[in-house]
Structure 1
Amino acid sequence: MSSAERDAVESFRRDVVEPSMTKLVIIDFWAEWCGPCKALTPLLEKVAAAYADKGVVLAKIDTDKNQFIAAQFQIKSIPTVYAMFQGQLVADLTPARSETQLRTMLDQILKQLPIESPEASLEAELEPLIAMGEQVLVEGDAARAVSVFAQLAEMAPEHPAVLSGMVRALVADKQTDAAEAAIAALPEEIAKLPEIERARSALALAREARPVDDLAGLAAEVAANPQDFDKRFALAGGQMAAGDRDGAAATLLAMIADDRSWNEGAARTQLLKLFEVVGLEDPWVSAQRRKLSAILFG
């Protein structure tokens, strides 16, 4: 190995391998004469800067000036983009030629690696606190849930799970206008996330689920005349407004079993909204979905 090659290896160890011990290093193999490289580099720089708090750094390797390093990685064409963690290549990012594609690949990688970053530390701190807020919400103490998520929002104002919990807590506390305003104020990229869709469904249900003064009386009317689907739907709404998700699900499932096409499938649509609000991973939702599948496909 020549002196120049030893210098190249030492530089690569210092600038790429050592940082990869705790961070995810994007390695961009490029050259001045490479047209596609010039188009890709600004994108890599933008995304790396956006992901810096997640423990991502960018290292640029000029293949003309670092032919020995390029040869070690068997670089046959450029641009070639790899991701390295703890000295090992963990992904080939070369196929990602748009910001969306690159972000998607990075998100998948970061979920699987113990990257040290401020964001990861904050996430670890937030996780049990978010779970506590969700538990308070499940227990029906809406006002306290609003307080919990408001405090979490001060710690992580753009965290999707925190924002979702805050909106759903406001809905549960009958502050629907405030919940709607909170969703309207979200940046577009956050507003599209699944966590926010769950909050949006909670708000929609709150708007549609009308409280019923005499639920028992309405239930008796429905029992006496089960063909009155309007009243059955109103009963389901009243049950949801009263926090009786078991009763609401049973009413909607029975409606679907009797006439799944009524009002363009309104009962099924409402039931799916209820599932999303409760949480698609919740065991209660899994049980209700099995009942729905038995009705639809049994």
Structure 2
Amino acid sequence: MSEENIPSTRGAVDLSALAHHSPQATGTTDSAAASWTTSLDEASFEQFVGLSQSVPAIVSLGSPRVQVSADLDAVLRRLVDAKNGKFVLGVVDAETYPQIAQAFQAQQIPMVVALVKGQPVPLFQGPAAEEQIVQLLGQLEQLAVQQGLGGTVPPLSGTAGNTEPELPPLHQKAVDAIDAGDYAAAEAAYLEALNEKPNDHDAQVGVYQVRLLSRTQNLDLNTSRELAAQNPQEIAAQLDVADLDLIGGHVEDAFARLVSLISKLADDDRERVRRRLIELYAVVGNNDPRVAASRQKLARVLF
């Protein structure tokens, strides 16, 4: 996911030329099963772009005649449908509808782009491992929340028979607060859940995620980077860029920045940065290989 699109969703690609019809989406899966995946043509594009005002709308530009594209679309369809409406997926035959591919300035297929409030957020080009796609969807979900798109939409075809498990009341309260952009209330709900159940891992991670969203909601990426570059010893500036890097998908960069900073600090300052790094580890997921690699580097710095 390109850093220039995070956290801002301003983009240079003009999609208005395609958005001038009143289409009907065409489902691509069995009508008996709920699906948030649809085939797109030029007539159905406007409606699909409109969905990006509610949830991230992912566009896969490829060709069913290219095996890499077909395999990728199958993985994307499964992962998107498993989210039960947090995303929608539009599959485009770029050879049949080249105008759509041109609107995204596609240089090769397959190419996958997300739309957030109508603006493009590039994800990747070429084949991608399922693990990479899962990580990108997680980052896209965080961006959606930051942009106020934390809800779901009804299936594009079929009937929603498999809904997500009901959240504990305090967790649902936190999610509702996040959807409303009230990060303080969300943190309070997660902290209350932790008070009731100190080993509630999901609530603890929720606290860290909400704090990350709250810290970055008013930050400008370019300003923050410039400030950090001009003040390499300024802890707050380095922490801000690490937060923005994480949300932007530059996970290794975020970790490396903080490990390097820790190596130059002592006492309370070192502990302050170490605690922030531990929080970011939890947000990414302690089983993530990037976390494991960074922990090894951190250990060498600390010991």
Give the TM bin, normalised by the shorter chain.
0.3 to 0.5
Between structure 1 and structure 2, the one with the greater Rg is 1
Higher RCO, Cα 8 Å, sep 6+:
2
Which TM-score applies when normalising by structure 2? 0.41
Structure 1 or 2: more helix by fraction: 1
